[in-house]
Amino acid sequence: MFQKWIDKSMRKSPWIYHINAGSCNGCDIELVSVLTPRYDAERFGFHLTGTPRQADIVVVSGPITMQSVDRLIRTLAQVPEPKCVVSLGSCPRSGNVFKGSFAIAGPLEKYTHVDVSVGGCTPKPEAIVAGLAKAAEILEEKRREMRKHGGMAPSPAVAAAVEHEERAEFGTGDATAVRQGAEQEADA
Amino acid sequence: MQILIQLFHILVFPGLLFDVAMGVLLMGLNNKLVARMQNRVGPPILQPWYDFLKCCGKETIIPARAKRAVFLGSPYLGFVLLISVSMFIPFAGFIPVTMGSDLVVILYLLTFVSVCEILGAASSGSPFAGVGLSREMVAMISYELPFVLVILTVARAVGADQPSGAVFSLEGILAYQEMNGPLLFSPAAIPAAIAMLFVIPCETGMHPFDIAEAETEICEGMLAEYSGTPLAMYRLTHMVKVYTMSSLFVAMFLGNRFTGIVPVDILIGILLCIAVMFISAALPHAVCARLKVEQVFHFYWTVVTGFALAGLLLVWAGV
């Protein structure tokens, strides 16, 4: 019973850690607006932590510059399981306007499994909230999987199960489509 | 039977379970009240409990440079010490443990709770934790002086006509307040009560005074390397500390037995704890941004110590 409580509270208290991998600060400002009084993600239990050790959801913004790739990998390795990786904006997905630059080492999928990808340049706060809520659900699923396969350490079976999991995507970079996606998510 | 009742007192009612429940309630209400004052919806009141459970379900990572035994042991030791502090603090007339000089024991044990946290941080081998623990020491130096002065004031106000000159036993303080009315209503004790209201948020590391855990500056400070169950224990310790400090305030300045009917007394006690938490923790949190290290030190050693000293002089002069 205690384990089931823990599973449920996984979704109710996801803590966010934000990595800026060479972002132009646009997505970062939108993420901050999600956490501040207007959108107030704290009402769903989201909380911005200062250290990767306490994080559940890692939000990556920016096109993964050559300078940041080493730090990105090291920071992601410090996050305890179960964890979710959310890519924020178009940059970690495709490189966006920086695509083809010699200074870019992206996309993010080359280095880690991406659970939720919120598109847009910059994504609307509604889309970010919807994406984070989806990530919180995936977090609960992952915790269930981990428990099924026993132990706290992630086994290869878990990694495979996670790998096959369908990746949720929001928005397409086009503002209206993003808003529609967010509204559909809100309706569902 | 006597042993069973004693065990019930220690483990369930004014003891462990009740402490945890009240800690969760006070912390959740604090978050909710701050959110409402900032025109937000705010997290559910059970949010601290969800946070605690979630942390229990996460992987516990022990850094390679950490001292394993101290790193894992100190959160639990700190929690046990804090629960034993709450054994000495009466609630609605129930005191699980009592001895001659409760207040001195409480003072020492509360210091040890902070020392446990400092030990854990020092053993984690993280430079952020190093900065955090040095800041926690500054905070301790800041609030300990007014705290000791407040305790001396209360002991003197209660024991002025006793042969010993001061009463450090909470049972004696309660008996005095039952006869003469709450200490808060005597003008000489009011400066001490104000100083105590300022001591509570710094002791519990609440927002404007949380220099040791400044998450935007030093990566959560002392908790920088903690994850999983030890982190959950630290979170729980912080919650229970809020309850312990506010119930200590209620016991020292307002008394315990208000009507003589136990359930009503319990309800009044809970409401008074919430009121103390609201005035001392939630209001400064909503109004004030985080202070700098030297601002905290300066504020506590001038304004708060001034209040505490004024209270002590008033009581000693017999006003």
* Residues whose CB falls within 8 Å of the CB of residue B130, separated by 6 or more in sequence, listed in order: B121, B122
pLDDT at A11 over 80: yes
Range of the domain at A31: 2-187
Tell me the per-residue pLDDT of A115-151, one tens digit each, with 9 for 90 and over: 888 888 889 899 999 999 889 888 888 888 877 776 5
Q: What is the pLDDT of residue B319?
A: 66
Contact A43 B215 (CB under 8 A): no
Tell me the per-residue pLDDT of B270-281, one tens digit each, with 9 for 90 and over: 898 999 999 998
Closest CA to A63 of A30, A102, A35: A102
Tell me the per-residue pLDDT of B29-73, one tens digit each, with 9 for 90 and over: 999 999 989 888 888 999 999 999 888 888 888 888 878 888 888
- Cα separation, B2 vs B9, whole angstroms: 11
- Helices B47-56 and B16-37: crossing angle in degrees, nearest 10, is 120
Upstream peptide bond of B63 is cis (omega within 30 degrees of 0):
no
CA distances (Å), origin B43, targets A41, B36, B95, B206, B243: 9, 10, 34, 17, 19
Confidence category of residue A155, pLDDT binned at 50, 70, 90: very low
ipTM passes above 0.85: no
At A86 the three-state DSSP class reads: strand
HSE-up of residue A111 (Cα within 13 Å, Cβ side) = 25
Chain B partners within 8 Å of A44 (Cβ): 43
pLDDT at B253 over 60: yes
Tell me the per-residue pLDDT of A15-24, one tens digit each, with 9 for 90 and over: 999 998 888 8
Domain ranges across chain B: 2-317
Q: What is the pLDDT of residue A48?
A: 87
Q: What is the pLDDT of residue A172?
A: 37
Q: What is the pLDDT of residue A59?
A: 92
Tell me the per-residue pLDDT of B91-138, one tens digit each, with 9 for 90 and over: 877 777 767 778 888 888 899 998 998 998 888 888 888 888 888 888
Which residue of B lies nearest to A80 if distances are taken between CA atoms?
B59
Contact A40 B42 (CB under 8 A): yes
Q: Which two tokens stand for residue B221?
A: 């400070």
- Cα separation, B144 vs B148, whole angstroms: 6
At A131 the three-state DSSP class reads: helix
Which residue of A lies nearest to B214 if distances are taken between CA atoms?
A50
B228, B55 Cβ separation under 8 angstroms: yes
Contact A42 B53 (CB under 8 A): no
Residues 82-141 on A with a CB inside 8 Å of B are 82
Q: What is the pLDDT of residue A160?
A: 41
The CATH number of the domain holding residue A86 is 3.40.50.12280
Q: What is the domain count for chain A? A: 1
The rounded Cα B300 to chain-centroid distance in angstroms is: 16
Confidence category of residue B173, pLDDT binned at 50, 70, 90: confident
- Cα separation, A176 vs B50, whole angstroms: 35
Q: What is the mean pLDDT of residues B214-225?
A: 77
Q: What is the pLDDT of residue B101?
A: 73
Percent of chain B whose pLDDT exceeds 70: 99
Question: What secondary structure does DSSP assign to B207-262, as a single string?
Answer: GGG-GGG-HHHHTTGGGTT--HHHHHHHHHHHHHHHHHHHHHHIIIII-S-SSS-H
Q: What is the pLDDT of residue A178?
A: 40
State how far residue A24 is from chain B, nearest Cα, in angstroms: 20
Range name among B18-22, B106-110, B313-317 with the lowest pLDDT average: B313-317
Tell me the per-residue pLDDT of A65-106, one tens digit each, with 9 for 90 and over: 888 888 888 888 888 888 889 998 888 888 888 888 888 887
Closest CA to B170 of B97, B227, B116: B97
